Chains A and B, each alone.
Chain A
Amino acid sequence: MKFGKSTITIDRRLSDLDYFAIDFTTVLKKHTPYVIVSGYVAILLGRARASEDIDIIIPRLDFSTVQSLLKDVRHHGFYCLNAEGDKEIYEYLTEELPVRFAKIHTIIPNIEVNWSKNKFDDIALEKTIQVHLNKKCLTISHLELQVAFKEIVLRSPKDIEDARHIRKVAEGYLDLKAIRKYKVMLRDFYKEK
């Protein structure tokens, strides 16, 4: 694993989850910027655990862009698990509810797509890392925000372990001041809510 300024190169053997992420984001990125966040970020960096889903944030899109995206996604063998028609899926997104996509006839693995809901989602979309996996590429959030979010907001044992794994494997590369800054920002933001 090689860490660059805004890149990580991993010469890993791809898992079923990696192939799934690559297949979906290859379609997604034709229509919108995206960023992968949360558990799959830790898994991509080697964390020894499974996951049934991958969390993705996209910016708010207009209806016609969502329609084009959905057409393309369906054309590539995916379907939406929790809503059917384009309008219903769009409504879910505008209500800030996640929409999930899986390969036809399957439930797991699936991708949870959310619109950006707050300034932290915007930061995640803005400050990204390109992860090079052999000849494939995935866009993930910068790691400092992921570590802070897991330690301050999510805080389940699984999230604390994810954050610890990221801290260990990216030691020397992580900006510890930025993690501390995000932790303060997150505490303030979620205290106000």
Chain B
Amino acid sequence: VTFTKKNEKERLQFVDTWAEYVKNHSDREWSQQQNIIINSGLRSASLTKEQFFHMKKEKYNRP
């Protein structure tokens, strides 16, 4: 089993585990934990417009 395949399998297992958690816990409980990922990701991001559009491979003409 290659590293990529093993990693993919583990990721999918986590998706299943987390989805079960979401189903079996209150919205307040799971969202409090989910928000740690979402908010920290947004607050730590520091991209320029050029970097952002390059990442997205989108048209960007502004100087």
Q: Using a CB–CB distance below 8 Å, which chain A residues touch chain B? A: 1, 10-17, 43, 45-52, 81-84, 92, 97-98, 107-110, 157, 160-161, 164-165, 168-169, 171
The distance from the CB of B53 to the nearest CB of chain A, in whole angstroms, is: 7
Could you say which of A15, A48, A169, A171 has the most chain B C-beta atoms within 10 Å of its C-beta?
A48
Note all chain A residues with C-beta closer than 8 A to B33: 48
Tell me the number of A-to-B contacts counted with CB atoms below 8 Å.
Answer: 110
Given A48-B33, A108-B52, 10 more A-B residue pairs with CB atoms under 8 Å apart are: A1-B22, A12-B28, A15-B38, A47-B34, A49-B37, A82-B49, A164-B15, A165-B18, A168-B19, A171-B23
Q: B residues touching A (Cβ–Cβ < 8 Å)? A: 8, 11-12, 14-16, 18-20, 22-23, 26-28, 30-35, 37-43, 45, 47-49, 52-53, 58-62
Complexed CA–CA distance, A11 and B23 (Å) = 13
- A46:B41 contact, CB within 8 angstroms: no
